[in-house]
């Protein structure tokens, strides 16, 4: 073999060796490092049982919040009528705020040493939010569905906040009260006012019956 070919082959081997070192290791499989429902003890000065109870509660709330988040996006796409522009923007604004809540709830579960649910099939199996039909619905029905979902979340968030407070889990209690409850209450107000039956152009001069 000529010196030129030897040099060429050596250079090729060097290139291939370098490429092997840089090649991504794909299609990997392995065991879970933490099963769902199990707590990895974290040094946050909370009893493991308290962490487990809060993580379990928050995963239920997470599934319901993710369902509400997605319902907002569904209605954002499908809203119709003379209030289309206003509700199209409002639904998307509320969607973004629910996205932030989803992230905050999931991170709190991880802080507690738990595992947060994430995938759509797991959310569908866990949520207690009624599933809307696939088709487009009238605006009053869309808003009513959203209000029903908000109330479900608010009821469970209040109960969970009380439980966390009694257990000394101040971080979870603060998240539920300061973020989840207050955000959902504010969104309820913005939605509910769209279902007040008031005249649009001319004021109603007649007094309500019974007054």
What is the rounded average pLDDT of the residues 137-152? 98
Indicate the SS3 state at residue 192.
helix
**pLDDT, tens only, 53-75:** 999 999 999 999 999 999 999 99
| Residue 48 CA to its chain's centroid (Å) | 25
What pLDDT was estimated at residue 206? 77
CA 59/CA 116 separation, integer angstroms: 6
**pLDDT, tens only, 147-179:** 999 999 999 999 999 999 999 999 999 999 999
pTM of the model: 0.88
Mean pLDDT of the chain: 92
CA 181/CA 161 separation, integer angstroms: 9
User: All domains of the chain, ordered by start, with CATH?
Assistant: 53-195 (1.20.1260.10)
């Amino acid at each position: 073999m000529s010196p030129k070919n030897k040099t060429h082959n050596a250079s090729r081997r060097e290139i291939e060796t370098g490429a092997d070192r840089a090649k991504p290791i794909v299609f990997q499989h392995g065991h879970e490092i933490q099963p769902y429902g199990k707590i990895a003890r974290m040094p946050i000065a909370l009893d493991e049982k308290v962490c487990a109870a809060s993580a379990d509660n928050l995963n239920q709330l997470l599934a319901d919040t993710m369902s509400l988040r997605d319902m907002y996006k569904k209605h954002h796409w499908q809203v119709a009528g003379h209030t289309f522009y206003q509700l199209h923007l409002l639904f998307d604004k509320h969607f973004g705020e629910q996205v932030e809540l989803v992230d905050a709830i999931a991170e709190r579960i991880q802080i507690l040493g738990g595992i947060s649910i994430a995938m759509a099939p797991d959310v569908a199996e866990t949520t207690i939010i009624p599933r809307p039909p696939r088709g487009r619905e009238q605006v009053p029905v869309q808003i009513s569905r959203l209000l029903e979902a908000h109330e479900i979340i608010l009821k469970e968030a209040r109960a969970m906040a009380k439980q966390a407070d009694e257990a000394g889990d101040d971080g979870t209690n603060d998240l539920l009260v300061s973020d989840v409850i207050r955000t959902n209450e504010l969104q309820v107000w913005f939605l509910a006012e769209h279902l007040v039956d008031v005249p649009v152009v001319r004021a109603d001069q007649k007094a309500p019956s019974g007054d």
